[in-house]
Chain A
Amino acid sequence: MKLLQKTSRIYLFASLTIYVAVGIAFFWSIKYMIYDEVESRLKVEKRDFEAYVEEHDEWLDDAYFVENKIEVTPTHGNISDEVIFKDTVILNRYEGTLDPFRQVTFYASIDGDPHRVVIRKSMIQSYKLIEAISGIMIAFLALLMVGMFFFQRRLSGKIWQPFYESLANIKDFDWTKNKKLELPKSEITEFNELEDVMVKMASKMQHDYKSLKEFTENASHEMQTPLALINARVEQFIQTGDLGKEQTYWIEEIYHASRRISRLNQGLLLLAKIENQQFTDHENTDLSELAAAKLKDFEDIISHRNIQVNLHCDEKFIVNMSPALAEILIVNLVNNAIRHNHQNGELSIKTGTGFLEVSNTGNALRADPASLFNRFKKESASGESLGLGLAIVKQICDNYGLQIAYHNHESLHKIQISV
C-alpha cells in the first residue's frame, strides 16, 4: 500500500469515527438542552397551577387557558410528592397524526381531595428545531471533514514530494558506475538527514565496488605475470634436452604446480568478480541453446570416454544474464558431469520452461550433498580438480536468483537449475 493511500485511509477512518461521535454527542446535547427548557417551562406551569389551586381551592378546565393540556383526575390514597417527566404521544384531533408531547405528572390536593395532575407541552416545534440544528451542524461538520481530507491529501503529497524524488533517484542508482547519487534538497530536516545517510552509503558502496574491482584486476595481473615467467622458464629449461629422470620429474612437478596456481587464482578471482557483481551486461540468453552448442566443444572427450549423450533441449530456458557468465555456467556443469562420469557412462541434458537439468552416471557421492557447492569441496581423488567449478556455478545462480539443487538416485547424479 502506498504511503499516501495509507495516511488517507487512516485519516478517513479516524475522521469518520470522530464525525459520527461528534454528531451523536451534538444531537444529544441539543436534545438535552431543549428538554431542559421544556421541562423548566412545565415546572413553571406546575407552580402556576399550584398557586391557582391554593388561591381558588378548585380547578376549572377553562379557568386557566393555556396552550397546553392540563388534565386533572381525582385519585385515591395518599398524595405522593413525586414529579414524573415523561414523553408521550397524543392523537392530533384535526390531522389524525400522533404528535409528540412532554408531560409532567404530579399529585395535588384540590379542596382536600387528592388529584393527579398531568400537564403536557407539544414537542413538535422543539423536534423540528433539534432536527434543523442537528442537520445544519452535521452538514457543516461533514463539509469541514471533506475539506480537511483533501487538504491533508494535498499537503502530504507536497511534503512527501522530495521523498518520492529521492526514492526514484535511489532506484536508478547504479554502484557499478561512477555517477554519484544525487538527491534533492528539502526544507524538512528529517529528509535532509535521510539524504545525507543515503548519499554516504551510496558513495561507500561505489568505493567498495571500485576497490574490489581494482583488487581483482591487480591481483590477476600481479599473480599471472610471475606465473607466466615460471611457465616460460620451465619451457626453456626442458629445451636443454639433457635432463635426467629426476630433473624431469621435478620440472614436471613445478610446471604442474604453477599451472594449478594459475587456474586456482583465475577461479578465485572469477568468484570474487561474480560476488562483486562486476558482470553488468545482461542479455536474454537461451541456456537450452547454449548447452547444446557448448556440448560440441566436448565432443572429443565424450567420444574418448565413450559417454552416451542424451540431449533434450527442445524447449527454451531463457534467463536474463551476462552471456559470459552463462557460458561459464554451462561449461562448468558439463565439465563436472564429464569429469565425474565413468567410462561408457551416460550424460544427459534436459531443459524445459524454467529449468535445466544436467545428469550423469558416476560413483556414489561420499561427501555431504549439501556441501557439494562449497569451495574446495573435492569429490574425485584426482589432483586435477580444483574444487571450484560447482562453487562458481552456485555463485552465478545466486547472483541471478536461480535455484540450484542436487539430486542423487543410485549412481545417477543430477544437478537442476530452475527459476
Chain B
Amino acid sequence: MKVLVVEDEKGLAESIVEYLTREGFICEVANTFWQADEKISLYQYDCTIVDLTLPDGDGFDIVQTLKKIAAATGIIIISARNTLEDKIKGLEIGSDDYMTKPFHLSELNARVKSLIRRRSFGGNNDMIWKEIRVQLQSRKVFIGEKEAILSKKEYDLLLYFLANTDVALTKESIAEHLWGDHMDSYDSLDMVYSHIKNLRKKILERGGKDYIQSIYGIGYKFTAP
C-alpha cells in the first residue's frame, strides 16, 4: 500500500512516515506543493495525506488535481484550519476525510486503514486478528465461533485497537476517537477505562485471550500476550 504524505513541516512528515511505515505502508513525502504535484502525476498512490497550508500553494488544488487524474486514490486532509467552511469545502471537492491538527498518529493510521479498506473492498471484507473476526458490513464480532454482542462504543474501540495493534495508545487518543474532541472532561478517561474493562470481559468470556495490556500512565496496547 503506497501512501503519499504532503506536509511542509518536515518533522511532522517524518513522524507520520515513520508511524505508517511501521504499520506496513510504503510512504513517500512531498514537502512542497510542486513536489506533490510532480509525484501525483508520476506515481499511483492508494492514499494521499494532504496538508492544506503549503508554502508554495494550496492543498485544495492538490486534492482537485488528484480527483482528476487518479480518482481511486483516497485523500485525507490534515490541516490546522478548523473552520466549518474549510471542512465542508474539503469534502465537497472530493477528499474523504478531514483531520484538524494536532491529531493522534494512531487516529490518522486508523483512518488511513479504514479508508483503504473502504476503497479496495467496499467495506465488504472481514478484519481478522488471531481469533477475533469482525464482519465490517454487518458490524458483527466473533471470538472464535462465538459471537460477541458489543455496544457501539465497544465496537468502535475494538476497531481502533485492531487498526493499531502492537502500538501504545494514549487514553486521550482513545477518548477522542470515541467521543470527538469536545469531550475534554477528565471523566472521559474514566469512561475509556470502563469501556475497556467491558470489552476485555466480553472477549475473555468467549474464550479469547487478554490482548489489552495497560501501560502505566500512558494508556493501552493491543497485543498478543
Contacts and interface: CB of A to CB of B under 8 A. Distances in A.
Co-complex (A, B): yes
* Range for the number of chain A residues in contact with chain B: 35 or more
A134 interface: no
Interface string B154-191: 00000000000001101011000011101111111011
Contacts of B170: 235, 238, 255
Interface string A384-403: 10100000000000000000
Interface string B65-108: 00000000000001111111000000000000000111111100
Given A220-B80, A255-B172, A232 B188 contact: no
A257 to B, nearest CB: 12
Contact of A339 (B167, B185, B218): B185
B185 A229 contact: no
* Contact residues of A: prevailing secondary structure: helix
A245 B79 CA distance: 34
Interface string A290-327: 00000001001100110000000000000000001000
A235 B106 contact: yes
Nearest to B172: A259
**Max chain B Cβ within 10 angstroms of own Cβ: one of A223, A224, A382:** A224
A180 interface: no
A228 B172 contact: no
Contact of B101 (A224, A301, A304): A224
B61 interface: no
A384 B172 CA distance: 12
A263 B104 contact: no
B121 interface: no
B18 interface: yes
Interface stretch (B8-16, B34-42, B202-210): B8-16
Nearest to A298: B183
B198 interface: no
Nearest to B108: A232
A254 B211 CA distance: 28
A273 B45 CA distance: 37
Contacts, number: 113
B103 to A, nearest CB: 7
Contacts of A331: 182
Contacts of B22: 239
Contacts of B218: 238, 248, 251-252
B103 A220 contact: no
Contact of B81 (A217, A236, A259): A217
B122 to A, nearest CB: 29
Given A236-B105, A300-B191, A228 B80 contact: yes
Contacts of B179: 297, 300-301
Interface in A218-249: 220-233, 235-236, 238-239, 241, 245, 248-249
Nearest to A278: B83
Contacts of A224: 80, 100-102
* Range for the number of chain B residues in contact with chain A: 35 or more
Contacts of B83: 324
Contact of A225 (B101, B153, B185, B190): B101
B156 to A, nearest CB: 11
A338 B84 CA distance: 25
Contact of A231 (B9, B103, B188, B216): B103
A258 interface: yes
Contacts of B12: 225, 228-229, 232
Contacts of B173: 235
A217 B83 CA distance: 9
B124 interface: no
Contact of B185 (A232, A252, A335): A335
A335 B182 contact: yes
Interface in A188-222: 217, 220-222
B194 interface: yes
Given A225-B9, A232-B12, A384 B185 contact: yes
Contacts of B185: 301, 335, 338-339, 384
A305 to B, nearest CB: 6
A374 interface: no
A249 B217 contact: yes
Which 3 pairs, one residue from A and one from B, show the smallest C-beta to C-beta distance?
Answer: A224-B80, A232-B15, A228-B102
Interface of A: 217, 220-233, 235-236, 238-239, 241, 245, 248-249, 251-252, 255, 258-259, 262-263, 266, 297, 300-301, 304-305, 324, 331, 335, 338-339, 382, 384, 386
Interface of B: 9, 11-12, 15-16, 18-19, 22, 53, 78-84, 100-106, 153, 167-168, 170, 172-173, 178-180, 182-188, 190-191, 194, 215-218
